Amino acid sequence: MTTNRRGFLKGSAALGAGTMLAGSGLTDFARAWAQSTQWKPEAGAKLQILRWKRFIQSEEDGFMKLVAAFTKATGVAVNVINEGLDDVQPKASVAANTNQGPDIFWGLYSLPHLFPTKCLDVTDVADFLGKKYGGWVPTAVTYGQSKGKWIAIPVAYNANVINYRQSMIEAAGFKSIPGDTAGFLELMKALKAKGTPGGFALGRASGDGNAWVHWALWAFGGNLVDKNDKVTLNSPETVKALEYAKALSDQFIPGTASWNDSFNNKAFLSGELSLTNNGVSIYAAAKAGADKDEKLKVIRDDMNHSLWPVGPAGKPTEFHIAYPMVGMKYSKFPNAVKAFLAFTMEAENHNPWLESAVAYLTHSLNAYDANAVWKSDPKLAVAKDASRRTLTAGGLGSVGEKAASALADFLVMDMFASVCTGRATPAEAIAVAERQAKRIYR
């Protein structure tokens, strides 16, 4: 279903109902839902779900309440397995190749496009939800569909934004994060000069690493492929992007070459870091621990978030994380899979879950613009439109198996890391990445 606003008021009304039905009311709703849903789980059905390990405890708690309500209402036992963010994709690929493993994977970006023929067709679920909740945002349609069929349900996004300490950027001579790449580099230089450097992941960090290097590539007009999926990486724009990233990385705190998706969280919360890119999980952790830890209270009160600067391309080039849930075709319980996917997105469930995620998760259905979390704290508002602002994994090209493979292989990430760490010149790094890209897109 394409994006539209029809059904928005209906969905918004349901959102309000979802707030009232939190807690014990969730079970009441789940029972009624189980009786009326078009997806009746198979007799004796049981599901196994593999998801990424939570970054915010309250988000996981909210998700598990949803799972428990589903089980109580339908009788379907659900076993949730948690893996590191970077481990979901390889485990899903193995399961797809062997036709055995978890029934549902909750992964990143274009994961289902690595094995589209192994994904359960969930077009009926997507159309039902889109019609009821005001339509899907455009990027959700892009990530969710393959050849006109929905192969996954993009349940949420994670807004990858600039996290910073207000006092530190002011001490460096800035009142806010500059809105252009030139000004942003000057801020990073000033922060280092003051002894309070920032830093972005240069290791194979699926979320934070991919987010910032793709932003940089696109900000300068570089692209892996064009609209016809022809490799166009070897360009003056890519060279400029790499040169800029090298200048930026020269200002980083030491050690970023080995950072994964959790390192910057730890460094920021320990007070070592003035600025990084992340979801709002750093802020959420500071808020959660502020009552017991004075250092976290200081960080909570001092930090804020900003959108990414705009580069010479002249438009936003943000890369926020899409979180698709994909049911596997080999599952013995496809109706139960569809029932669970639909259940997670119903307002009575999704609304309190989004609130428990405290803006770490951003919605993919238009009706959830009305979610209370977006007015709960001004510092979280920056995450609201992540699903609409983001570019997709294919850049100018298509989101399909090839784009998914390039992302899974960290092609762009490794190219930037090799230049930023001094292992290669821009020309050398581009040559390596171009060869890899042409093998993927041949």
| DSSP-assigned letters across all residues of 241-278 | HHHHHHHHHTTSPTTGGG--TTHHHHHHHTT--SEEEE
Contact 150, 2 (CB under 8 A): no
User: What is the CB neighbour count within 10 angstroms for residue 254?
Assistant: 7
**Rounded-to-integer distance, Cα 237 and Cα 104, Å:** 40
- 281, with CB counted inside 10 A (0-12, 13-18, 19+), is buried
pLDDT of residue 25: 64
Interior/surface letters 191-207, b for 16+ CB within 10 angstroms, e for the rest:
bbeeebbbbbbbbbbbb
CA dihedral 30, 31, 35, 39 (to 10 degrees): 40
Q: How many other C-beta atoms are found inside a 10 Å radius of the C-beta of residue 147?
A: 8
Q: Where are the domains of the chain?
A: 8-159+320-389, 161-317+409-440
> In CATH, which superfamily holds the domain spanning 161-317+409-440?
Periplasmic binding protein-like II (3.40.190.10)
Q: What crossing angle do the helices spanning 411-420 and 208-219 adopt, rounded to 10°?
A: 80
In a 3-state reduction of DSSP, which class is residue 238?
helix
pLDDT of residue 262: 86
Q: Which residue type is seen at 223?
A: N
**What's the pLDDT at 346?**
97
Q: What is the pLDDT, as a whole number, of residue 261?
A: 84
User: Regarding beta strands 321-327 and 161-165, do their DSSP bridges make them parallel or antiparallel, or are they unpaired?
Assistant: unpaired
56 DSSP assignment: S
**Cα distances (angstroms) measured from residue 238 to each of 51, 63, 72, 201:** 34, 41, 53, 19
pLDDT tens, residue order, the chain (442 aa): 333 433 333 333 334 433 333 445 667 899 999 999 999 999 999 999 999 998 899 999 999 999 999 999 999 999 999 998 889 999 999 999 999 999 999 999 999 999 999 999 999 999 999 999 999 999 999 999 999 999 999 999 999 999 999 999 999 999 999 999 999 999 999 999 999 999 999 999 999 999 999 999 999 999 999 999 999 999 999 999 999 999 999 999 999 999 988 899 999 999 999 999 999 999 999 999 999 999 999 999 999 999 999 999 999 999 999 999 999 999 999 999 999 999 999 999 999 999 999 999 999 999 999 999 999 999 999 999 999 999 999 999 999 899 999 999 999 999 999 999 999 999 999 999 999 999 999 9
Ramachandran quadrant class, 108 (left: phi over 0; alpha: psi -120 to 50; beta: rest): beta
- List, in order, residues 6 or more apart from 437 with CB less than 8 Å away: 224, 225, 231, 233, 406, 411
Rg over alpha carbons for the chain, rounded to the nearest Å, is 21
**Counting Cβ atoms within 10 Å, is residue 40 exposed (0-12), middle (13-18) or buried (19+)?**
middle
DSSP count for the chain of H helices, then E strands: 19, 10
Structure tokens belonging to residue 372: 């209370």
The answer to whether 8-159+320-389 and 161-317+409-440 have equal CATH topology is yes
- Residue 167's SS3 state is helix
Q: Find all residues with CB under 8 Å of 292, minimum gap 6, and list them.
A: none
For residue 190, give the 3-state DSSP assignment.
helix
Exposed/middle/buried for residue 39 (C-beta within 10 Å: 0-12, 13-18, 19+): buried
| DSSP per-residue letters across 328-363 | BTT-S-HHHHHHHHHHHHSHHHHHHHHHHTTTSSB-
Architecture of domain 8-159+320-389: 3-Layer(aba) Sandwich (3.40)
Tell me the whole-structure pTM to 2 decimals.
0.91
